[in-house]
Structure 1
Amino acid sequence: MAPVTPTQATTGLPEAPRTLDRREGPHGEVVLRQRGGPLEGPGTDGHGTPGAPVVYEIIANGCFLMDTSDGRSERLLIDAALAALPPGRARPSVLIGGLGVGFSLARAAGQPRWGRIVVVEREEAVIDWHRTGPLSAVSAAALADPRSEILHTDLVAHLRTDADQVAYDALCLDIDNGPDWTVTDDNGSLYSPTGLAACRDRLTPGGVLAVWSAQPSPAFEEALRNAGFSGVHTEEIPVVRGVPDVVHLARKGA
Structure 2
Amino acid sequence: MPFPASDTGAPVVLDRREGPHGEVVLRRRETGGEPVHEIIANGCFLMDTSDGRSERLLVDAAFEALRTGNFAPSLLIGGLGVGFSLAHAAEGEQWRQIVVVEREEAIIEWHRSGPLAAVSGAALGDPRSVILHTDLVEHLRTTEDRFDALCLDIDNGPDWTVTDDNQALYSPDGLASCARVLKPGGVLAVWSAQPSSAFEDAMRNAGFTGVRTEEIRLARGVPDVVHLGVRPA
Q: TM-score interval w.r.t. the shorter chain?
A: over 0.9
Match of 2:64 among 83, 86, 93: 83
| Residue in structure 1 matched with residue 17 of structure 2 by the alignment | 23
Describe the SS at the equivalent of 1:180.
coil
Aligned length: 228
CA distance in 2, matches of 1:6, 1:126: 23
User: What letter corresponds to residue 86 of structure 2 in structure 1?
Assistant: L
Q: Highest CA radius of gyration, 1 or 2?
A: 1
| Residue in structure 2 matched with residue 42 of structure 1 by the alignment | none
Determine if the alignment matches structure 1 residue 193 to structure 2 residue 187: no
Q: Is the 8 A contact 2:74 2:148 kept in 1?
A: yes
1:1-254 map, 5 Å: 7=8, 15-36=9-30, 52-162=33-143, 165-254=144-233
CA distance in 1, matches of 2:174, 2:181: 11
How far apart are residue 6 of structure 1 and its match?
A: 8.1
Q: What are the Cα deviations for residues 177-230 of structure 1, in whole angstroms up to 9, with x where unaligned?
A: 000000000000000000001101110010000000000001100100000000
CA distance in 2, matches of 1:70, 1:52: 15
Describe the SS at the equivalent of 1:206.
strand
Distance 1:6 1:227, change over 3 A: closer
How far apart are residue 89 of structure 1 and its match?
A: 4.8
Structure 1, unmatched stretches of 5+, are: 8-14, 38-50
Q: Is the 8 A contact 2:7 2:30 kept in 1?
A: no
Q: Which has the higher contact order (CA 8 A, sep 6+)?
A: 2
Distance 1:193 1:6, change over 3 A: closer
| Residue in structure 1 matched with residue 3 of structure 2 by the alignment | none
How far apart are residue 246 of structure 1 and its match?
A: 0.3
CA distance in 2, matches of 1:141, 1:87: 25
CA distance in 1, matches of 2:98, 2:173: 25
Describe the SS at the equivalent of 1:119.
strand
Identity %: 73
CA distance in 2, matches of 1:108, 1:6: 32
Structure 1 runs of 4+ with >3 Å offset:
none
User: What letter corresponds to residue 172 of structure 1 in structure 2?
Assistant: C
How far apart are residue 65 of structure 1 and its match?
A: 0.1
- Normalised by the length of structure 2, the TM-score is 0.95
CA RMSD of aligned residues (A): 1.3
